[in-house]
Structure 1
Amino acid sequence: MPAKISTMCYIHEFTERLTQEFTVKEITAVARLNDDDPTKIVYLRVKAFIPVDQNIPCQIKDFNKGQVIFLKGKFVACASWYSVCIGLRVYF
Structure 2
Amino acid sequence: MHTAARGVKKPTRQQLMAEIPDPADMPAYLKMLHFEADDRGCAIMGGGLVEHYLTQAIKCRLIDPGAKLAGEWFIGPSAPFSTFSAKI
Q: TM-score, normalised to structure 2's length?
A: 0.26
Q: Which has the higher strand share?
A: 1
The structure with the larger Rg is 2
Query: Higher RCO, 1 or 2 (CA under 8 Å, sep at least 6)?
Result: 1
